[in-house]
Structure 1
């Protein structure tokens, strides 16, 4: 079995817990997820199976879409509602001020990761240090907020949708908005609506997975390995050149048909008679082109 499951992660489970459930169900060890989702959060968690685990590195860069709730007036040590309250303030702010601050957080910016995260400092996870009462300096990272739209403001709670780049912490976004408003804030709800091409409306629950037999899982629930790789140029390989791919030998230009949008050093998807076979790196030098093999899926 190989491919990708679009799992709807429930609350009170880690992403690794979900992977363990999938492993037991399909009786395979080679299973991995494409990007951690907080234990209390819900939503889309793509899980790669078998040879599909080879593409995890490409899916981790996918943009994400979340629906979140921010609660004003309370800051917590974890930046979400499951942490300890470290400051409280009366919420005296008008909607226009909230909207104005939200607008400031759109676009490219630097974000300092929270202490309660799985990032490592000198070989130790930050959340382990935080639980010991320690705080270390963290380097701010460049992120992009592509869109940030308020859906509803009720009392001290703000429901919003956000589309963001890899590495964005929505907890920290909520915390930082609260800091700018001078009120403190924390994230009180989080659902991942999209992860790259995978959407919440197409996801399956763990209950549905466990109730299905393996044939149904393979036929109805598993996406092909190349499904989330459509952003890579496609190259059709001539049948006689298949033997070179299988042996890891670079393809010369007489062995493939080039797509119009292929650029030098692009990672490309390789197909033989419409079957996805491999990923390669396209090179063009001195008027000659070739493709060097990168990952084989056949």
Structure 2
């Protein structure tokens, strides 16, 4: 079984689940999970966890992301992108009078923190059901605004009179479809997302991502392992400690570990640490101040 993280280029018209299903066939293993859903119309970076790395899926979905978004002015749809049914038409007179400066000013006004109402077509749960389940049944439910943050918006480009593209650097949980909706409403002409390209996640760039076809070729010729990062590659924010020989059995049994069982720890007590045995990454441990001991958070033995 392969353990590690793979930077996959998700192509248009594939769901994130499609990518996982195809990888299971290519790699001949079941233990595979993705780290953040991309809509079928979207393309770009999809980090995929293999084997033991699947234990990191919940951690890796929390990362910041960068997208190249394309926004079309003039109407709204039920999905908030061009794949949906039109629900409202914008004011043609307002749209005709908009200048490039007006649009750029409205786009940039969303930099910072704001409360975003998520789209009906999303996997967020309400009363035990996903919002898209309500939407498919023709039911619109009230959604509570969720705090998101837009760190930066760059390279705003006018593609056509009614179409603009821009780079968005944002926090987890940000819906770019809803951002376009909100920009359109601010401009009083409405808008939808017409294209989405995820450029970066956790420092993984789209320039290094492999398509499913490329992965299949590299698996066949034996070079795929070169593209798979080790399980701990995205955990460098946590300090690393090697355990002593006396701690080996405690570790293998998933026991709590006293700070004395870590080499060169000294007096420092980090909240979360990477744990290594014989140079191999084996666990994440969290420090419990009240007990003055480290407790296992995730084991990778």
TM-score, normalized by length of structure 1? 0.93
Report the Cα distance in structure 2 between the residues aligned to 1:79 and 1:56, rounded to whole angstroms: 27
Report the Cα distance in structure 2 between the residues aligned to 1:153 and 1:220, rounded to whole angstroms: 39
Q: 1:35 to 1:280 in 2, by over 3 A?
A: same
Q: Which runs of 5+ in 2 are unaligned?
A: none
Report the Cα distance in structure 2 between the residues aligned to 1:247 and 1:133, rounded to whole angstroms: 51
Report the Cα distance in structure 2 between the residues aligned to 1:32 and 1:156, rounded to whole angstroms: 38
Check conservation: 1:235, 1:269, Cα contact below 8 A.
yes
Q: 1:262 to 1:200 in 2, by over 3 A?
A: farther
What corresponds to 1:176 in structure 2? 182
What corresponds to 1:71 in structure 2? 72
Q: Which moved more, 1:214-223 or 1:84-93?
A: 214-223
Q: Structure 1, residues 56-79: CA drift from partner, whole Å, max 9, x if none?
A: 111010001100111111222211
1:125-164 map, 5 Å: 125-154=130-159, 155-164=161-170
Q: Which runs of 5+ in 1 are unaligned?
A: none
| 1:258, distance to aligned residue in structure 2 (A) | 5.8
Report the Cα distance in structure 2 between the residues aligned to 1:163 and 1:215, rounded to whole angstroms: 37
Equivalent of 1:108, from 97, 113, 117?
Answer: 113
Check conservation: 1:37, 1:45, Cα contact below 8 A.
yes
What corresponds to 2:216 in structure 1? 210
Q: 1:214 to 1:228 in 2, by over 3 A?
A: farther
1:128-277 map, 5 Å: 128-154=133-159, 155-213=161-219, 216=222, 219-257=225-263, 266-277=271-282
Report the Cα distance in structure 2 between the residues aligned to 1:128 and 1:196, rounded to whole angstroms: 30
TM-score, normalized by length of structure 2? 0.92
Aligned length: 295
What corresponds to 1:21 in structure 2? 22
SS state of the match for residue 134, structure 2?
A: helix
Check conservation: 2:34, 2:47, Cα contact below 8 A.
yes
Aligned alpha-carbon RMSD (Å): 2.0
| 1:260, distance to aligned residue in structure 2 (A) | 8.8
